[in-house]
Amino acid sequence: LVRSKIKIKSLNFMRGRTFLNKFVLIDEAQNLTPKQMKTLITRAGPGTKIVCLGNLAQIDTPYLTEGSSGLTFAVDRFKGWPHSGHVMLARGERSRLADYASEVL
């Protein structure tokens, strides 16, 4: 039952798709380029909600920075649009070790 309702797809298979009445989670969005983010968000059809998850401190793509990430791009472009929102968590939820590593590495 769960497998028939939840589908996991690679970014490589998004061209030509339209999401109708779907809830789309884009995980690790900090590693997307602005163009990739646009590719995904513009696939939303009627009734679709999109949630982008990511942590700019965890960018592991060598050609992206906090300023050039698709996540930053989307947050900036959707500011002020009444149908969007942005939530930034105050702290990590993994461990003190993970928080410390994020700061010093």
**Mean local confidence (pLDDT), 31-53:** 96
CA 30 from chain centre, in angstroms, equals 6
Number of domains in the chain: 1
Confidence of residue 3 (pLDDT cuts 50, 70, 90): low
Instruction: Record the pTM.
Output: 0.83
Give strand ranges (E) for the chain. 23-26, 49-52
CA separation for the pair 30, 11 (Å, rounded):
14
Contact 59, 28 (CB under 8 A): no
Q: The domain containing residue 36 runs over which residues?
A: 2-104
Instruction: With CA atoms as reference, report the closest residue to 64 among 32, 105, 103.
Output: 32
Cα-Cα end-to-end distance for the chain: 42
